[in-house]
Amino acid sequence: MKLYVINKNEPHILDRVIDSLYNSGVYDLTVVEEELEDYDSESEDSSTDMTKSTLELILEEVDKVCEDPKRVKNLVQEIYMESLKS
């Protein structure tokens, strides 16, 4: 999980949020601190559609880079579904 911190005005609140996330059992937490200007310019440049699922985004990339996307897509879907069961 990535936690983007744009303005760190009250560090004690951030510490409480991070502690709560770890206590809830989050496996991996990365805290990214960015200036507001950096965040705005990055979000404008980003072409990732946040309405699509992870699997949809992966399958779109497979279409772009593979010569035999059907076979690779089947494998990706199988692996993805198996990972959700764990």
pTM (two decimals): 0.43
More confident residue, 65 or 8: 65
| Cα–Cα distance, 59 to 33 (Å, whole number) | 31
Q: Rounding to the nearest 10 degrees, give the CA dihedral for residues 4, 8, 9, 14.
A: 70
At 22-54, the pLDDT tens digits run 888 877 888 888 765 554 555 544 566 678 888
Tell me if 77 sits within 8 A of 54, measured CB to CB: no
